[in-house]
Amino acid sequence: MSEIHQVLVSAGPGDAITNAALQVQAKLRELGPSEIFARHVHPAMVGEVRMLSEFAPPRKQQTADLIVYHASIGEPTVFSFLYERPEPLAVVYHNITPPGYFVPYDSDFASLLEAGRYEVAKLAERVVVAVAASEFNAADLRSMGYRNVDVVPLRVDSSRLRAVPDDPATVSALAGVDGPVVLFVGQVSPHKRHDWLLAAYHALVTYLEPNAHLFMVGPARLEPFRRAVELYAAELRLRRAWFTGSISLEALVTYYRRADVFVTASEHEGFCVPLLEAMTFDLPIVARAHTAVPETLGGAGLLLDPDDSPLVAAEAVSALVGDEALRQVLADRGRERLAVLDEQASRKDVVEDLVAVIES
């Protein structure tokens, strides 16, 4: 019987890293005891995730077979805990956003990101296996001195997602929407480039699709940036651009079902799960070719050059709104891409990697 525990910096509802840890935990519990610990735990996660302070104190002999750290940001308490534990350590690397995006809005948070890269690099001497969701993430780890890195793509349970019922309140709210719906899903954060997306939407409604709506779904975890982009939208008089904030899973799938095009302007992604969610609902995608986005998209969408202007994005969205044949081609490619990722994930399982370390 194996005892494998996971450690996160923070755990919250709807958070991609928390969700990934919960999926891994479900499989680990088939093998033995497995808990998730975090330095910061959202009240909604109490009962599913334990405080890091509850982890058994270190002894001369290890108290678990393996500790799995989900790395995405710096945190000195978590780093000290991991560095000093006697157990073997595995890292699941979700990538660390370049701190420069955050300096104008939250210098303390930017410092945590900068520290995160130092901490991940320092942990390399302790890590027995590292897992990355993309080759982009794996290359980043290798640049920090990691040698044993396995790429295991994330997967979306498409059947489960399609079975989620609509949210009645969201259905009612969208019933009055009378034009094309452009959707983005992701937290309101500087590297997601909501400002660039709003500029593209402004071009879209000014020159091409005057009745289009833009829904930006996701929590705002950085208030100064949220205020900045909302002010920008107001200055552009974008009366059909909406920030939804955090929403339920039922509301999320309702937006996916109603949307006509999914657009992301993000400039930094370690994988980008919403791309797979959009494919699940046959939603055509427009994305910018930054970081892991081209790798995850795999040709199942319109990929813009990083130097393309917002006007190019507007033209791509308009083309998808009006071309049913192209929409169908991209929907077919999306289903094929999901099948490929599912097959890759079935051949390379995170839990199998972790168990192999223990057995060796």
Give me the pLDDT at residue 53, please.
94
Query: Could you give all domains of the chain from N- to C-terminal order, each with its CATH number?
Result: 4-151 (3.40.50.2000), 158-342 (3.40.50.2000)
**Phi, psi (deg, nearest 5) at residue 129:** -155, 145
Give me the pLDDT at residue 130, please.
94
Tens digit of pLDDT for each residue in 33-77? 999 999 999 999 999 999 999 997 766 555 678 999 999 999 999
Give me the pLDDT at residue 360, please.
61
Q: Which pLDDT band holds residue 155 (cuts at 50, 70, 90)?
A: confident
Please state, in angstroms and rounded to a whole number, the distance separating the CA atoms of residues 302 and 147: 34
Question: What is the token pair recorded at 231?
Answer: 């002010």
Helix (H/G/I), strand (E/B), else coil: 214: strand
Average pLDDT over the chain reads 93
Tens digit of pLDDT for each residue in 85-126? 999 999 999 999 999 999 999 999 999 999 999 999 999 999
Give the mean pLDDT of 2-11.
93
CA atoms within 13 A on the CB side of 34: 22
**DSSP 8-state assignment for residue 211:** T
In the chain, the percentage of residues whose pLDDT exceeds 70 is 96
Please state, in angstroms and rounded to a whole number, the distance separating the CA atoms of residues 32 and 27: 9
Tens digit of pLDDT for each residue in 199-232? 999 999 999 999 999 999 999 989 999 999 999 9
Beta bridge partners of 66: 4
Query: Under a CB-based contact definition with an 8 Å cutoff, are residues 304 and 288 in contact?
Result: yes
Query: Under a CB-based contact definition with an 8 Å cutoff, are residues 217 and 246 in contact?
Result: no
Give me the pLDDT at residue 15, please.
85
Where helices occur in the chain by DSSP H, the ranges are 16-28, 76-84, 107-123, 135-143, 158-163, 168-174, 194-203, 223-235, 249-258, 273-280, 293-297, 310-322, 324-347, 350-359
Please state, in angstroms and rounded to a whole number, the distance separating the CA atoms of residues 225 and 248: 23
Tens digit of pLDDT for each residue in 135-153? 999 999 999 999 889 998 8
Give me the pLDDT at residue 358, please.
63
Give me the pLDDT at residue 1, please.
64
Query: Under a CB-based contact definition with an 8 Å cutoff, are residues 120 and 100 in contact?
Result: no
Beta-sheet strand order (sheet of 149-151): 50-51, 36-41, 4-11, 66-71, 89-93, 127-132, 149-151
